Amino acid sequence: MSGRSMFGTPRGSRRGVSLSLLVGGLGVVLATGAAAGTWANPARSAPRAQTRIPADTVADTDEIAKAIDDGKVGPEAAEELVSRSGDRWSSFYTAQEYAGLQQALDGRYVGVGLWVRRTGKGWIEVARVQSGSPAQRALVQVGDRLRSIDGNRADGKPVTDVVAELRGDNTAQSLVRLGLDHDGRSRDVTLRRAVLATEAVTVGKLAEGVTSIKIEAFTKGVGGQVRTAVLDAVHGGSRGVVLDLRGNSGGLVTEAVAVASVFLDGGLVATYDVHGWQRALYAAEGGDTGTPLVAVVDGGTMSAAELLAGALQDRGRAVVLGSRTFGKGSVQMPSELPNGSVAELTVGHYSLPDGRSVDGRGLEPDLAVGAGRAPAGTTVGTSDGAVAKAREVLSGLRPPS
């Protein structure tokens, strides 16, 4: 096997899978690409433990992976085997799809720089325009109704389908024609897709000196961005941090561990197994263990985001607030075929520091709060009920002056 191992995406979402990472609760989506959970290749980088774990749940995908790696299965047969495996998290990608997914994990995507959402009337509306993007240069505005894409009606479609059409075939410099309505006026604009940087971390200031850090996805560099945000917050006299993981469906596990390292002084973050061999992930030493911290989660918090929230909870570093998380705790690893296509197969599961698994059950917050979610790409504010509650909790966590 080669490449990065994955938490993966449900097979039903495979087409346009690179969109799934930044999908928000009510259809707020960044027109970008990213995978739903990845870490550095443990099969190559971590030593094997002395004991073997029973792996009945991954036996079939183990056999498929071995057949691919031994050169006994071609691309068409591999795709068929994956589809028949019964594992919702195993997927098959063409070379082009997988290249787009890897690009997204590196913090880049091909698109026009739009976040879109579906309104209660079924319309597709622009929720945010990325600074410096083709959409901004064409004067696309927040609140514009996206009427059509390349002549195809957008209203009534799932947001994921709309985002897939905005992205096209992941080719920079390709053109896309948008039909837009704004304040009763219609116009068509033609945009040239470009390689853009994802904006996975949003930092804001709340009342009473509280800093909010919202992580949309664990793409490359997120750990460093969060560390910088926390250092700036501490130096600026911040009295606590709200770490918003709502709607975060995963990303690079190495980045999730890097974020854990911002708030922990070494120690266990998670254990996991690959083909039955157990390994562990540890935080780096020297993290900030004093700044009061509340992590906000919901049903869209998945995979690497659950690993992070669970580690902070088990280690007693953060109060976890919100609603039960999704429950995605399996590990996927890609097997590459000669034509560049990739079968992403379940090879194991991870456990939190106290030994519990979130797979199929999710993470139970310390304090249950309504499932309202801040829109993707926006800074959370005091009108957000969960964040308001987090500020209240922080007031009780603050050390004496």
- Predicted local confidence at residue 53, as pLDDT: 32
How confident is the model over 184-243, as pLDDT tens digits? 899 999 999 999 988 899 999 998 889 999 999 999 999 999 999 999 999 999 999 999
Ordered structural domains, the chain, with CATH: 109-197 (2.30.42.10), 201-397 (3.90.226.10)
User: Which residue from 314, 212, 206, 302 is spatially nearest to 260, judged by alpha carbons?
Assistant: 314
> 301 and 245 in contact (C-beta within 8 Å)?
yes
Q: Which DSSP helix (H) or strand (E) runs through 83? A: helix 75-84
CA-CA distance, 98 to 304, in Å (whole number)? 19
How confident is the model over 247-258, as pLDDT tens digits? 898 889 999 999
How confident is the model over 271-313, as pLDDT tens digits? 998 877 899 999 999 999 999 999 999 999 999 999 999 999 9
H-type helices in 218-368, by residue range? 222-235, 253-263, 304-314
- Predicted local confidence at residue 22, as pLDDT: 24
- Predicted local confidence at residue 309, as pLDDT: 98
> 47 and 183 in contact (C-beta within 8 Å)?
no
CA torsion angle for 342, 348, 350, 354 (degrees, to 10)? 180
Q: How confident is the model at residue 43 (pLDDT cuts 50, 70, 90)?
A: very low
- Whether residue 341 is predicted with pLDDT greater than 90 in this model: the reply is yes
- Whether residue 52 is predicted with pLDDT greater than 60 in this model: the reply is no
- Predicted local confidence at residue 126, as pLDDT: 94
- Whether residue 182 is predicted with pLDDT greater than 60 in this model: the reply is yes
Cα three-residue angle 199-14-195, rounded to 5 degrees: 35
Whole-angstrom Cα Rg for the chain: 21
- Predicted local confidence at residue 179, as pLDDT: 97
Average pLDDT over residues 158-181: 88
Q: How confident is the model at residue 37 (pLDDT cuts 50, 70, 90)?
A: very low
Q: How confident is the model at residue 17 (pLDDT cuts 50, 70, 90)?
A: very low
